[in-house]
Structure 1
Amino acid sequence: MPNPLADRTRRAASFNTASAHYAKYRPSYPPALYEAVEEALGRPLAGVRVADIGAGTGIATAQLHARGAHVLAVEPGEGMAAELRRSLPGTPLVRGDGNALPLADGAADLVTFAQSFHWTDPGRALPEAYRVLRPGGVLARWWNISDSSHTWVADQADRLLAHFGREGAAHGAHIPGRADADAPLTHRIPWSRRLTVDDHLANLASHSLFLVADAALAQDFLDRERARLLQLFPDGHVEERYVVDLVLTTRPASA
């Protein structure tokens, strides 16, 4: 019988083998996301104390820093942390995960989980996040979700399902743990980025679906998909379409 916890642990650890690839090809996040966070905070991000949990290679960490926030990155994975140190050498970084944060009570004005909350146990991670927040502090959780309202994105999702079966069904359109019982979705922010077909496929290959799959099975999909996309986009470029799903909550008075 499959062990969901063991599978999640294996998938989370897989990123450490491809951290440089992840940093190079994964999408960042649109300005409107940070504007929504600032609105929730009631102030600009400049000077805000942020704990970025599950920071990975520092994609959101760098964007928060660029807006003037004082960011502390928390990352459990050795490979991902090493890449973050390489790309953001001046950023404070501690090793740890969202289920047991190595941070003091009330240490942050803002706690962020960028593309990372689904790797936690919400029953443990939520109390930890609220513990680390100051009274009135904001918890922000967000995900880039492939926007299947666009035909080519939906068709690619169908091909992933057909090729990888149940594992492929979980890729992109649905991320376990995104819709948390404690808070409804706050914002849906559509955005896109234009890149080459090969870079799009490299982005796909950085996902845990591909990192834990049989190498030949994964490469077969990428080869077939490259041929299909070049037929669809003969100029060799695609417009990756996303919706950022954002959940914003404030630390409860009793936390």
Structure 2
Amino acid sequence: MERDARVLASSFGAAAVAYAEHRPDYAPAAVRWALERAPGRRVLDLGAGTGKLTATLVALGADAVAVEPDPAMLAELRRGLPNVRALVGSAEAIPLPEASVDAVLAGNALHWFDLAVAGPEIARVLAPGGVLAGLWNVLDDRVEWVAGLREVSGSAAIGPRDTLGSWRAAVAGLPLSGDGELNEFPHGQRRTAGSLVATLATRAGMLVMPEREREAALGRIRAFLASRPETSGGEFTLPMLTGVLRVQPR
């Protein structure tokens, strides 16, 4: 992983509480599809963060274990999901034995992995016939005001995998061993203008931005949301999809 990517990937712990509060969960239908070819119910949430995907796995009846390298994010996961086995580790050094899980899922995390190292590690912990799936929550930029929000926000807040129009191309280039299948599922999140600004403030590009630039960017987003009838009058549903890349590693 290049230095800039490592800086971005390690930025989330400073905003772990805000991440837990504001980041969306994952569409249950997307998680079901990710798991439908897995040979069993043992699922590893890899790069689990504060447990957004882990919680959906638990709700669907999976036997879930979470692995996360950042101690602040892991603390939030353990606080919110005290009955889930949650371990310190990374995609490049998974603290599980060989063939111990039927599926490895990564929620908004697969693109952070050093896949040259993580790929063999994931293959090691997967049981025969096991599945790897990356899931991403993306904004539905087919909606006019969402496309406008993307333009105002800039790539630090809404990046190259954060909209329907771009995530497919971005994930198709990931160096994975096996034939990938892509799918997307309708999703949404109840937001206010304030909570949407808080959500975008937890994006990696925003977290590493100099404070003056960050506040200027958030100010532009606030002004845009205040100017739109869809978002200026209280609660609204943010149009989203959960995109899934599913692979059965060779």
Q: TM-score if structure 2 supplies the norm length?
A: 0.88
Q: Which moved more, 1:202-211 or 1:29-38?
A: 29-38
Counterpart of 1:130 in 2: which secondary structure? helix
- Aligned residue for 1:247? 245
Cα shift at 1:169: 5.3
- Aligned residue for 2:83? 90
1:11-160 matches, within 5 Å, as: 11-41=8-38, 48-160=41-153
* Conserved 8 A contact 2:39-2:102: no
Q: Structure 2 regions of 5+ residues with no counterpart?
A: none
From 210, 213, 225, give the equivalent of 1:214. 210
Distance in 1 of aligned mates of 2:60 and 2:206: 33
From 219, 233, 236, give the equivalent of 2:234. 236
Distance in 2 of aligned mates of 1:234 and 1:61: 32
* Conserved 8 A contact 2:91-2:118: yes
Counterpart of 1:18 in 2: which secondary structure? helix
Distance in 1 of aligned mates of 2:130 and 2:161: 32
The C-alpha deviation readout for 1:4-53, integer Å capped at 9, x for no partner, is 7111111111100010100000011112112213422377xxxx111110
Cα shift at 1:234: 3.1
* Conserved 8 A contact 1:148-1:154: yes
Distance in 2 of aligned mates of 1:139 and 1:171: 18
Asked if 1:172 corresponds to 2:162, the answer is: yes
Q: Structure 1 regions of 5+ residues with no counterpart?
A: none
Residue type of the partner of 1:9?
Answer: R
* Conserved 8 A contact 1:61-1:73: yes
Residue type of the partner of 1:50?
Answer: V
Residue type of the partner of 1:106?
Answer: A
Asked if 1:192 corresponds to 2:179, the answer is: no
Cα shift at 1:111: 0.9
Aligned structure 1 segments of 4 or more residues deviating by more than 3 angstroms: 167-171, 173-177, 181-185
Distance in 2 of aligned mates of 1:27 and 1:228: 21
Q: Over aligned residue pairs, what C-alpha RMSD do you find? A: 2.2
- Aligned residue for 2:198? 202
Distance in 2 of aligned mates of 1:112 and 1:188: 15
The C-alpha deviation readout for 1:148-190, integer Å capped at 9, x for no partner, is 111112112212338x6xx865472356962224433421223
Asked if 1:226 corresponds to 2:222, the answer is: yes
Counterpart of 2:212 in 1: which secondary structure? helix
Distance 1:6 1:38, change over 3 A: closer
Counterpart of 1:28 in 2: which secondary structure? coil
**Once the two structures are aligned, what percentage of the paired residues are identical?**
33
